[in-house]
Amino acid sequence: MHIVAGDSWGAGEWKDLELVGPGLAECLGKDHDCVVNLSIPAGTNYFTTIVLEKFLKSLVSTKCIESIFVFQTEWIRDYTGTHSVEHKKNQPDLGYTDLKNYTISDFYFSLSRLSQNFKVPIMLIGGCSDVLFLDNFNQEYPGCQIACQSFTNLCVNNDHYTTTPTFELATAPENKITSRHSIIKKAKQYSNNNDVNDFLNDQDRAVDRVNIFSEYKQWFYPDGYHANRFAFEKLYKFLKKG
């Protein structure tokens, strides 16, 4: 059995706010009898771990699981997204950069805990958000591996690794802009100039990422914000080699 988990990027290909293709799960299904997709559109990293844990607990045995592919999404959704209530209650008193690093790292530690408790391998894929690369990632988060740091970079440059990871997208709805600013406002008393610069750099990268989607329509249209079936086929071939 293979499991896919995450947000809308894990769910598959999109057009006009409708799911039109199962994405990686469909590709995996060509070679494997059982593929379960637990991805929740508009989901958060925090919610991904909750859904995944509930599913693993429901199984009589996890020995049948060959691998779990988890699509990472925007860290800021843990505080502003649909499934962010618990994280909002426990938001630490940190500046922007420390809050970002803490939230992403907490996601990896949660996945590592699941991997070790249920004895299943977890493979991270950078989708809506790239994965935070560390040389000792496997040692820091036992049971977890970076299968593809940046799905976008893999499609555009034939290399999953990137030195300039993007951790959110500039999707531009007013409520999301407000949410971003509210996070900065809450963290302001703990922030410094480095935090401000990091925030501005993240916003620039978010805009650049959406511009890439527009420039490389062969991989990211008809939706314009998600990978399409050709991109998922490329990802699947890459994962199969690795």
Answer for the pair 113, 105: CB distance below 8 angstroms, yes or no: no
pLDDT at site 25:
95
Summary mean pLDDT of the chain? 89
Q: Where are the alpha helices (DSSP H) in the chain?
A: 8-11, 24-29, 45-58, 77-80, 85-89, 96-118, 137-140, 151-157, 174-187, 193-215, 217-220, 229-241
Q: Give the pLDDT score at 240.
A: 93
- How many residues does the structure list for the chain? 242
The residue assigned the tokens 């637990």 is 38
CA distance 232 to 242: 15
Q: Is the pLDDT of residue 9 over 90?
A: yes
Is the pLDDT at 223 greater than 70? The verdict is yes
- Cα separation, 19 vs 23, in Å, equals 10
* pLDDT, position 80: 74
Is residue 86 predicted with pLDDT exceeding 80?
no
Q: Which domains does the chain have, with CATH numbers?
A: 2-241 (3.40.50)
Q: Span 76-101, mean pLDDT? A: 74
Q: Between these two residues, 93 and 164, which has the higher pLDDT value? A: 164
Q: For 140-147, what is the mean pLDDT?
A: 98
Mean pLDDT across the stretch 13-22?
92
Portion of the chain with pLDDT greater than 90, in percent? 71
pLDDT for residue 225: 93
**pLDDT over 60 (residue 234):** yes
The whole-number pLDDT of residue 184 equals 57
The pLDDT tens digits for 144-155 are: 999 999 999 999
**The pLDDT of residue 178:** 47
Q: Identify the pLDDT of residue 170.
A: 76
- Global pTM exceeds 0.85: yes
